[in-house]
Amino acid sequence: MAGDPVSSRLATSLCGIPLKNPVLAASGTFGYGIEFASLVDLNQMGGIVVKGLSRDPIAGNPPPRVWEAEAGMMNSIGLQNIGVRAFAREKLPELRRYSTPVFANVFGYALEDYVEVVRVLEDHEGISAYELNVSCPNTKHGGIFFSSDPQLLGQLVSAVRPVARRPVIVKLSPNVGSIAPLAVAAQDNGADAVSLVNTFISLAIDLHTRKPRLGAGFGGLSGPAIKPIALRMVFEAARAVKIPVVGLGGIASGEDAAEFLIAGATAVEVGTATFWDPRSPLRIAAELDTFLKQERIPGVGQLVGTIEWKKP
């Protein structure tokens, strides 16, 4: 029997924010949320992480932008968005009609970009927390990615922290040698939580034209293909920090979500699955509820970090 995405078994919290269930719609795959209001009961969702917001509008990368890969997809959207001020003016008032927590995904190419986006959002109601997308090159530091340098990441979080009255979540990239030092750097510089993983840098080639399948060349791989690696990195991050971890990467079922929670995640985000099923966050939450009922687990929090792990 199908579960209930707002079952009392699923109720939890993240950084002090009450959630009806621990399944959030990930940034970049659910628009600004309101576009799906006719397809999905937004009030039943655990949370919505809106499309990444920058200080100024961005047109994005040249097409094609999406390529269906084996067991997943590649995208190179280029962080296209309307800019934080247009979001606050046009989208946020609509989102405030719903009871579901809204998380603002924030990105930039210099510390000042992140700070300015958060500063603008601080003047508006309807945002529960910020998710900093650090998978961008710092153009003021020779293109070094915020996500690959613990010191640079720490500086970014330290710059945003004094401006933000709301919780700050740092979204980590998997394109690093070790995830633990980045998670620790985020924590030690004031982050309230970390989320991971973002997409894996990838390439697809058209055999006939001998050109990349995507207009920008490289893209980000997501979907079921990355789940085992994402799960490992969530486990490693959860072992390294005391702040909450939000897991994402290839989650397409309630059992997938349960695995991430067992690995140490407090909540999860669903991205690629919404492309073929816009209601997937609700479906996955319902399937997770069914799993909890079958396993006689009264609350989802009792699943978090219960992995039995013995080093060989």
* Residues designated as active site: 136
- Alpha carbon distance 13, 110 (integer Å): 31
Tokens of 281: 């966050």
- List, in sequence order, the alpha helices (H) in 101-253: 111-122, 150-160, 180-188, 227-240
197 dihedral zone (left: phi>0; alpha: psi -120 to 50; beta)? beta
What burial letters (b/e) apply to 64-101, b meaning 16+ CB within 10 Å?
ebebebeebbbbbbebebbbbbebbeebbeebeebebb
Count other Cβ atoms within 10 Å, centred on residue 159.
Answer: 17
- Alpha carbon distance 26, 248 (integer Å): 8
